[in-house]
Structure 1
Amino acid sequence: MDRDAFAARIDHTALGPETAVGDVEAALDVAARYGMNARVPPCYAAEAAEHAPAVTLVSVCGFPHGQAAPETKEFEAEQVWRDGADEIDAMLNVGRLRDGDDAAVEDELARTVAAVPIPVTVVVEAPLLSVGKLRTACELAEEAGAASLGTTTGFSGGATVEDVEIMSEYLPVKASGGIEGFDTALAMLEAGADRIGTPAGDAIVEGFDADAVDASRVAPTEE
């Protein structure tokens, strides 16, 4: 995997609570320069799609806590798709999962996935889950038709190698939360992640070490 292929696995992210349109445009410019994807708030999806149409655009649904009503998530997912998003990261309702209401969790995820014709990544907020609940979340997302799984928003902690290893047994994984350097990103890819979500995408790509990648256990992306 060369530097360009590595960069294509990164979602350069601008999702902070103070994110303004200028921050989004700056993130898109960086993503375009380095050949990364970009992940932005839903309120800026249309502007982002217009600003950088060549950049793969990821937006979010139910961010950051996943506690919106199912109908709201459906509407938000459809709206960001119509605004130009190429992919969606949808937040799982951790409260319902931990209450054992698996049917409600799966139904909500399935409705969100069915609302759009683009890939949906289900973010499970792994730092808040036991191993058993993490496996249940992965199973429900898989049954709901999700394209992939996301580790965490970063609001409750960062991605871990252990979580990625478990999650990659079910679906492709986007590791995000606390990934700020090349070594950490490579460790997540070695653990089974296919994508990396981070606001430090440019620094990570700048730190790319071809020798380290060549010596790693990272599988190439399937075309």
Structure 2
Amino acid sequence: MDDVPDRIEHTVLGPATTPEDVRACLDAAVEHGMRACIPPCYVSLADDYADVPLATVIDFPHGQGDTAAVCSAAKRAWDAGADELDLVSNVGLLKAGEDEALRDHLSEVVAAVPVPVKVIVEAPLLTDAELHRIGGIVADADAAYLKTATGFSEGGATVADVELLSQYRPVKASGGVGSWATAEAMFAAGAERIGASSGDVIVSEWRAERGSGA
């Protein structure tokens, strides 16, 4: 597995995130050859500051925005320089059985931008049956990825959830992935990407295991 750094999205998304935090995240992404995921208010700053593949979050962290407003936010983020968007799904609609409404919402947002959209499903809040439903909904909405969690709710990525979701779309495992050992387990379960605030640690541990400082 030689492409690990390019599959890591080094992340800073906390409520107290400052411009300097974003620059530090981008510096680490450049140093280690990673991607970056930052808040939407800093996309323009990041696009000007560093040449790294850049993701941002949309309707974060609860996914309860009006469809038109979420589409507008997605377009603004793309216009500002985001290469990919991580869109939070509305867990309440899924729990209520409003699958068609959720599918329509996600489809509109995906169609509003010409860049890949990852749908964050908050897997720790869902049963296996609900995970299968949201997997199908996201596939029908033509999103590029399923993402396990925001990291700001209950729990994070698990091997079982990654295995299940990867039946429907490529998976970004996010939430609680803080070491190469955990990341490697997620990759083995079928994850294509890892989202982590400890991306630099993950890549450093991976390189140390390989016996390479490169």
Q: TM-score, normalised by structure 2?
A: 0.96
Q: Which runs of 5+ in 1 are unaligned?
A: 212-223
> Which of 48, 57, 61 is the aligned partner of 2:58?
61
- After TM superposition, the structure 1 = structure 2 runs for residues 1-223 of structure 1, keeping only pairs within 5 Å, are 1-2=1-2, 5-52=3-50, 54-156=51-153, 157-208=155-206, 209-210=209-210
Could you tell me how far apart the structure 2 residues matched to 1:32 and 1:155 are?
26
Structure 1 moving runs of 4+ over 3 Å:
none
**Alpha-carbon deviation of 1:73?**
0.9
Q: Can you list the C-alpha shifts for 1:12-47, whole angstroms capped at 9, x where unaligned?
A: 001001001110011001001100000000011111
Matched pairs, number: 208
Could you tell me how far apart the structure 2 residues matched to 1:98 and 1:147 are?
23
Q: Which runs of 5+ in 2 are unaligned?
A: none
Please state whether the residue corresponding to 1:50 is helix, strand or coil: helix
**Alpha-carbon deviation of 1:210?**
3.1
**Alpha-carbon deviation of 1:72?**
1.3
Q: Can you list the C-alpha shifts for 1:57-115, whole angstroms capped at 9, x where unaligned?
A: 00011100101111111011100000000000000000011000001100010011001
RMSD: 0.9
Could you tell me how far apart the structure 1 residues matched to 2:7 and 2:81 are?
20
Could you tell me how far apart the structure 1 residues matched to 2:118 and 2:67 are?
16
**Alpha-carbon deviation of 1:185?**
0.4
Identity %: 50
Q: TM-score, normalised by structure 1?
A: 0.92
**Alpha-carbon deviation of 1:140?**
0.4
Could you tell me how far apart the structure 2 residues matched to 1:136 and 1:153 are?
19
